[in-house]
Amino acid sequence: MHEIGMCEGLVELLERRAGGRRINGARVRVGVRHAVVGEAFDQAFTLASAGTVAQDAAVDLVVTPVTVTCRACGARCESLDVLAVCPPCGSDDVDVTGGDELVLESITFGEEPADVPGHPR
């Protein structure tokens, strides 16, 4: 479950940005090529954030598509399927680009400082 490693890195980044403030939420954009499973990501984030300033934060996971360019008919489309074929003609002779990003888009901080052991107030 690669989501655990991804979420551990995300929590580390959130803690650095938080400066001791409580984090209520975050928005993360992840490309479909990372093959992130939403439910597994949520569980991994819950585990990774336990006892941190991000504990109980809501994470909005936005999955971005790949761009499929067909060599057969020239069509260019987006797809959330990593093994995409050309939607108009069905050809599998395609170039697939994008869909590999991993971006922390935003953080929502709480009103009160976090009460987390080991973190200064």
Residue positions forming the annotated binding site for Zn(2+): 70, 73, 86, 89
Annotated binding site: 2, 70, 73, 86, 89
Angle between helices 3-18 and 38-49 (to 10 degrees): 50
Annotated binding site for Ni(2+): 2
| Token pair 């300033």: residue | 53
End-to-end CA distance of the chain: 34
Phi then psi for residue 82, to 5 deg, are -65, -30
